[in-house]
Structure 1
Amino acid sequence: MTSTGDAAPTRRRRFGVLRQRDFRLLWIGETASGLGTSITGVALPLIAVVVLRVDTFAVGLLAAVVWLPWLVIGLPAGAWVDRLRKRPVLVAGNLVSAAMYASVPVAAWLGALTFAHLLAVAAVCGVATVFFSTAYHAYVPAVLDGRDLLEGNARLQGSEAATRVIGRGAAGLVADAFGAVSGLLIDAVTFVVSTACLLSLRVREPVPAAPARGDTLRRQIGEGLRFVVHDRYLRPMVMYGALVNLALMGYQGIQIVFLVRTVGANAATVGGLIMAGSLGGIAGALIATAVGRRFGTARGMLLLQLVTGPFALLLPLTTPGPGLLLFAVGSFTVGAGIVACNIVLGGFRQSYCPPHLLGRVVATTMMLNHSTIPIGSLLGGFLGDLLGLRPTMWIMAGLLAPCSLILALSPMRSRRDLPGASEPRPAATVQGSQTK
């Protein structure tokens, strides 16, 4: 009798939130979609270079178009998502992306594929991603109890990091065996799998309240933006995320050139070193829940960032031979710290924000965080040409290393755990955020 009683808790601890049917389906669908997206991240520029033979600027333009929708429609998308049930938005986003990605191999097989077609696919799928990502982050709390959000986000982030490793490797194999355009067909299939999982969920999502009379889209966008800007926890988190993305993209945009031309690494070595960062992301997902429970979500996150951030300074120290280990260790540790931080902050945002504002808060924070990505890429390339690759790596690593001080100087420094619900605002602030 004793052994039977002990077995159930052990099994619950072993499988955790994956024992819950709805979350398991959500996780399977997102993992499948993440695998396809990772393949597409390599396949799309590969098609542009190998099949259409475009120049370097065109490849950069293709990458920029993917992120542009966040800057253009990120804020209104959050307001729209808050007005709608989330699952239909997720299904629509999946089906649009599946159709667009499937159109590329079809056009290639018909001899009608053009670069304009690729740009259109990237733009439309970028818009679908904005809506999907916003609705997805707002939908997870409907599937999981608040106590399980940290573990659930760790599972989702862990699978995302793992599929990033597998997908990038699989993309090259698929391209060699079946042609570059076949990778997008695989991605289209994974979106269909994700849709099937979403449609199989049993959770009943409450219907959002209808907007009050005079509650315009512009006012709703302003309400979400003010909530983020005036909140003493969300504001430093957004500042931290934006600065980290600026520094990350600043060195990631030139790291391959740095490794090849300055360090002298071959293609296989470069692939392994880049993979180290993704493997670090998996490690970060594995330790995030344990660290949060052991030290507290606020204290544990700060500790991880203070410890892992300075490892970025190993990257510009990379030299041929044994010195390559510096890049691997730096990428692995920085990747682990950032993914662990994303898990904690994602769970905090989902439990902290009022449900009727969650879509707008997610869209606002992601838009602000993503706004520095193209800036970082351009800055890294500009400084690389102006100052050289290694000095630019030093500048970007030096910018990334102390970013955790933004969090350390915020109100969370005095807390063990991040708050579970938004704190009362001063009367003037509350009145300013109302939409009536």
Structure 2
Amino acid sequence: MKKISWLILLLMASLFLSGCWDRYDLEERANILGIAIDVVDEEAENFTIPEITYRDKDTLAGEEENIYKLTAQLAVPGKIKLGPEGGGNNTSDKTAWVVQTAGFSMKDAMANLQQQLAEKLYLGHLQIIIINEDVAKIGLDDINDFLKREYEVRRTAWMVVSTGKAEDVLRAAPPIETVPSLYLSDTLENALRFGKLPREYLGKFWIDLADIGIDGVLPYVKLIEQERILVNGLAFFKHDKMAGSMTPFEIGVFLGMKEKNPGGYGMAVSTDDGGVYILESYQRDSNIELKIKNDVPIASITVEIEANVEEQSNVKNITNRKIKEIEEEASNVATKKYNKVVKKWQESESDVIGIGARVRAKYPEYWQQEVKTTDKWAEIYKQMTIEVNVKFEIIRTGMEFK
């Protein structure tokens, strides 16, 4: 009797077990690894918008007509190299499939892309989103809105801005690499590890956009010889629109004021005796002090850098006096360069180091009475005084010391 009762109980319990009712096998998914977004020039590119689009020119309702060309790189199941024994001599043509479409919005373009595929689109493995510079200057609001709504998209994916066509960057990979999207993602991860880039993943960029008084940055890349990617700096934004770009050295300036380590970028200084020294930062510390004077905020930024002498020319040995001279010269050179970069950000009204967020936190009454809106802050930020003072300390010379 007990056995029968337990059997009935198990049968009843099974009714409440749903199982994997919504699962998809790997072969039933179109796994997107990378997306490139450009602006379509229908006449120049001889590219036609698919008829299946759910939007047309009559539904724009006064919106600016910008048509996205979306290039998606999909993984070919079973062909991606997973180790030294896997993949064989597969090239990127065999391991990844590139599909293109267009649309009036990201949702529109993705709907058109789905129409071309038998498998369900899956964004859980998305590694990188490449935005053409022209698209970034128009604004990323629509793109960000789509990606945020797609719960499958990982916040640790990379979003980058390209100087040329985004689709060309997406296809780029050296002959030894099998999946271009993974190569691009690895390139950025290594740049982050070597101190060449800040940790500006997709999720961090969204946090900066949502925060009041701070603007976002994204890696700025350039294609070289159709197979290599140059980290060409950082694209900085005013709200969701690209306002300008930094050079690779200016990334070091940004990292210094944000207290990001390790160093990553060197700086050359020369002394009166003809010696030339390459200094590379080892540790950075930054302090931002704020004051309100005559209803206008004033910022003073002190950056302290511990550095190593990585290279020297025209010098046989180094003394305590010479170290002091190098430190003083490096501090002067860096202070000028840092202030120049800050001025560049101010002219573009891009508050990438978050001065506004600090003012809002320290002086909430001032913000409520005098600032109120982000547009008003942009005006104040552009005119306010921001002074940067850089102090170098050499901790290792790597040379004969006397």
- TM-score under structure 1 normalisation? 0.23
Scaled by the length of structure 2, the TM-score of the pair is 0.25
Bigger CA radius of gyration:
2
Higher strand share: 2
